[in-house]
Amino acid sequence: MKKPSILLVDDEVAFANNLLKLMSKRGYDVVVVYNGADAVNMVGEKEFDVIILDMKMPGMDGIATLKEIKKKAPLVEVVILTGHGSVESGIEGMQLGAFDFLMKPVSIDDLQEKVSEAYQRKLIQRESG
């Protein structure tokens, strides 16, 4: 099965780069950006299957970024990743159209699983839509 293309948005450079390495190694097409504004721009330039989005970022935070992304690419699935771990922000994100949320620290296996679920849903939606 084709691996989904992923946009990874996180201001923690080390974490983002590690995930880039791990996901790339597992066959994903991963693009990394380090803030919300770049993520929105990137969504405008390229189509992604799943976006992994950090909640707490300087400047445009995760919620604002999510809103803008959903405006530009309503079908893209977003998995929220947060170090804050608050259920409220996760729920808020899901109400804005995010697929699900995960709390840091997250293992690559859990992330992979969640990304797969998100991608599956996107595929189903695309087929039904």
Using CB under 8 A, list all residues that contact another protein. 12, 14-15, 18-19, 21-22, 25, 56, 83-88, 103-108
* C-beta closer to another protein: residue 56 or 121: 56
* C-beta closer to another protein: residue 83 or 97: 83
- How far, in Å, CA of 64 to CA of 113, rounded? 26
Tell me the three state secondary structure of residue 51.
Answer: strand
- How far, in Å, CA of 84 to CA of 15, rounded? 15
Do residues 67 and 78 touch, judged by C-beta distance below 8 A?
no
* C-beta closer to another protein: residue 86 or 120: 86
- Residue 88 CB, shortest distance to another protein, in Å, is 7
